[in-house]
Amino acid sequence: CEDAESSETRLRLCQELWDKIKTDTEVLQDELNRKILDSLLDFTRKCSSTRQNSDWASQMRASEIPTAALMLGVNIPDHDMTFQSLSDMLKQSVSPHVASVQAKECVALKHLMKKVLERLMDTVVVVDDEDEEENVETSPRVHRSVHCSLGILCDWYTARTKVGAQTTVDQQQPPVVIIFKDLEAFNPRVLQDFILICSQYIDRLPLTFIFGIATSPSTIQHMLPHSVSSLLCIELFQSLSCTQHLATVIDKLILTSHIAFKLNGKVMQVLIGVFLYHDFSVRNVIKGLQLALLEHFHSQPLSVLCCKKKQALFNVTQLSKPNLDRIRQLSSFKRYVEKQEAQEQVNLMTDDSHLKEVCQQLIKDLHKYHKNYYPILRCLHTLTSSLPRYPLGKQIRELHLICLANNVWENEDYQSAMKLVKMLAKGELVSLLQKCVEILQLSKSKKMSPVPSFQMYKFLSCISAATEITPTVEASIASPVKNLQKKTDLFQLQKTLLEMNESRRAKRLSPFENLRNEALELIDNLVKSHLFPPESQPLYEVCYYSSSATVRRHLNATPRTSIQAALSNPYHYLQNDSLKSEDGTVSNAAPDICIAYKLHLECGRLINLYDWLEAYSTVVLAAEGNDPDSEHFGKVDEVKHARFIRAVSELEFLGFIKSTKQKTDHVARLTWGGC
């Protein structure tokens, strides 16, 4: 009963966390795309109003089809969300006549025309006489079916836009917007013919095209000849790059104390690696985050404490005996216990009530750690992100990964970064310190003392004043080199060099240099106080998901390995007890393709089909429980023959075998090794 209640609590907390992440992602997506979407909306409104002007330039422009070339980047999985937002905004504020098409559904011109008319007119479109006869028999909306022609669309548009005389012209003629989601995938000939046809109706139909381009604007020139592209009035729009999008998502969803769920360094590296080396899809990164969230709440019973502080403190009081024992088994808690006195260790390991009290304090400390960690991380990133060669990384995620791995102040790159910061010009240093003050002021709370922010502001004011006043430096000391005689011995030279070294050490720093060193020392102390790895915190396991192998296995799929595992051990996926077998064998009750696959592993490069069929038939007859001594045992009937042919065809489709011209009754084996 306790386990069931704990599972329900974890499910509820997981759902609440995912709902918050999903909502924040949608809001963030709208904010990032707002600028480009607003520009597209203004473009469509401007094109619609231009058609109403009577000057010569407007009339020449009206003979062309307004076209927006939207550069979205190669992160194809993210495009659907952008086009959905664009389509909704166009329908709400510009025109109700919007149609979106994809290349996979428009392999021929008639299919493209059909999809455009159906989505604009919301009716069944008949391509030819044969399709019409088919629709008469099958379509429930046959009374609304129309022929596939832009002339029909023009008549429909004219009928829809007939309104009263008091309505403005812009409202009378809203544009007809056609969105080509993946321009590169369209058949160039189909696209050319469609544009040529549309250009013949531009005086009757206010068309506007939007091209979704993943690669380069030159794609339009490569796909369309000049005779076709000259019919388009093209304007280029550039969306936010996927790397900037990812940086914003990480900053808002991962590097924040408002979401209790966290990823450790290895899991983050897997998600970022999939993004950088596979698809550049921020949407898939968020899916990976969702996967990690589900796995964490499913595999970690103590994830009932992965929530807001108030709820977590209450859940500590409701922990069951098994969960308290799990806390005692956590490696971080064991390290915490080892640092306590002997009597305290005994109480923690035996007294459940005392353990709950201590866990509440540890949960408070964990939340305090997160409240302090992220502002100091941003301050350090602000100071080091513009240094030459980026010793601590150009993106904040790189610095975050360094901090997750070990003590960042022990890193050689950190030491070199602080030396480079000391070499910055006064104006650059003042600007960076001003940004740090703003970060610390925004993060002021009960968890972080206001002293660092006040001290940083004080240093900033003093440094700004020091930049306006010429620093007073001790009068330059006369160089002993000038006092050297033309002829001198080794002892005199050594004495002179020692005096020069002492004079350099005795040289007093300027006021600016003193203030700069004090400010950087304050930053260094904050780093050493708050940027230690999460593994140093007791009970960090309740919030941090660390199974990078699980995330990699789910996101980096290996189809061949999965197929071979399924064919060799069907029980692994089907979970049917009758399919259980010893290692290296397949149950005779397994599916036909599994039996055929296992038998083909026992053959060489060429497989005799008749021998294969005989072996298959023997295994299947044994599964049916037939008597081996009967005279019909071993004979292949038509049903078994058909089942065998289907299994062989499936193996050929999967790429395990192929037909060969060497022997007509043989097939060639293509794979070796495996499961």
Say which range, 17-31, 41-55, 387-401, has the weakest mean pLDDT: 41-55
Percentage of the chain with pLDDT > 90?
51
pLDDT tier, 532 (very low <50, low <70, confident <90, very high otherwise): very high
pLDDT tier, 445 (very low <50, low <70, confident <90, very high otherwise): low
The pLDDT value given to residue 568: 86
Residue whose entry in the numeric block shows the structure tokens 């089942």: 643
Residue 293 predicted with pLDDT over 80: yes
In what helix (H) or strand (E) does residue 182 lie, and over which residues does it extend?
none
Say which range, 421-435, 482-496, 535-549, has the weakest mean pLDDT: 482-496
From 290, 283, 297, select the one nearest 267 (Cα to Cα): 290
Backbone φ, ψ for residue 182 (5° rounding) = -130, 85
The pLDDT value given to residue 487: 59
Residue whose entry in the numeric block shows the structure tokens 């065998």: 644
Tokens of 511: 């006021």
Q: What CA–CA distance (Å, rounded) separates 545 from 236? A: 43
- Is residue 490 within 8 A of residue 388, CB to CB? The reply is no
What is the length of the chain?
A: 675
Residue 561 predicted with pLDDT over 90: no
Tokens of 608: 């005799």
For residues 456 and 189, the model is more confident at 189
Residue 166 predicted with pLDDT over 50: no
Supply the angle between the helices 511-530 and 412-422 in degrees, to the nearest 10: 150
305 burial class (0-12, 13-18, 19+ CB within 10 angstroms)? buried
The pLDDT value given to residue 476: 43
Architecture in CATH of 4-126+146-160+173-240: 3-Layer(aba) Sandwich (3.40)
The pLDDT value given to residue 132: 42
Residue whose entry in the numeric block shows the structure tokens 């590169």: 184
Supply the angle between the helices 321-329 and 352-384 in degrees, to the nearest 10: 50
CA angle 478, 480, 483 (to 5 degrees): 100
The pLDDT value given to residue 450: 60
Share of the chain residues as helix, strand and coil, in percent rounded to the nearest 5: 65, 5, 30
Say which range, 284-298, 402-416, 462-476, has the weakest mean pLDDT: 462-476
Residue 475 predicted with pLDDT over 50: no
The secondary structure of residue 603, as a DSSP letter, is: S
- Beta carbons within 8 Å of 520's beta carbon, 6+ residues apart: 418, 421, 422
Residue 318 predicted with pLDDT over 50: yes
Helix (H, G, I), strand (E, B) or coil at 539: coil
Name residue 67's beta-bridge partners.
209, 234
Average of per-residue pLDDT across 141-161: 75
Task: Please tell me the pTM assigned to this model.
Answer: 0.79
Residue 1 predicted with pLDDT over 60: no
CA angle 416, 419, 420 (to 5 degrees): 90
Helix (H, G, I), strand (E, B) or coil at 550: helix
**Interval 219-261: pLDDT, tens:** 999 999 999 999 999 999 998 888 899 999 999 999 999 999 9
From 186, 116, 157, 532, select the one nearest 365 (Cα to Cα): 532
Average of per-residue pLDDT across 406-433: 91
575 torsion bin: left (phi>0), alpha (psi -120 to 50), beta (else): left
Q: What is the mean pLDDT of the chain?
A: 84
Q: What CA–CA distance (Å, rounded) separates 293 from 287? A: 10
From 487, 609, 63, 25, select the one nearest 290 (Cα to Cα): 25
Q: What CA–CA distance (Å, rounded) separates 140 from 147? A: 17
> Is CATH 1.10.10 what the domain over 559-669 is classified as, yes or no?
yes
Q: What CA–CA distance (Å, rounded) separates 18 from 271? A: 17
Q: What CA–CA distance (Å, rounded) separates 453 from 458? A: 9
The pLDDT value given to residue 574: 85
From 593, 603, 601, select the one nearest 645 (Cα to Cα): 593
Backbone φ, ψ for residue 236 (5° rounding) = -95, 135
Tokens of 18: 């995912």
Q: What CA–CA distance (Å, rounded) separates 378 from 386? A: 13
- Beta carbons within 8 Å of 355's beta carbon, 6+ residues apart: 324, 327, 328, 347, 348
Q: What CA–CA distance (Å, rounded) separates 672 from 286? A: 37
Tokens of 491: 């002892």
Say which range, 75-79, 82-86, 370-374, 603-607, has the weakest mean pLDDT: 75-79
Residue 98 predicted with pLDDT over 90: yes
- Is residue 85 within 8 A of residue 29, CB to CB? The reply is yes
H helices present in 319-411, as ranges: 321-329, 331-338, 342-350, 352-384, 396-405
Residue 198 predicted with pLDDT over 90: yes
Q: First CA to last CA across the chain, in angstroms?
A: 41
Residue 648 predicted with pLDDT over 60: yes
**Interval 601-614: pLDDT, tens:** 988 889 999 999 98
pLDDT tier, 664 (very low <50, low <70, confident <90, very high otherwise): confident
From 267, 270, 276, select the one nearest 247 (Cα to Cα): 276
For residues 365 and 452, the model is more confident at 365
Where exactly are the structural domains of the chain?
4-126+146-160+173-240, 245-419+534-545, 559-669
The pLDDT value given to residue 619: 84
Average of per-residue pLDDT across 319-342: 93
Beta strand 657-659 pairing with 666-669:
antiparallel
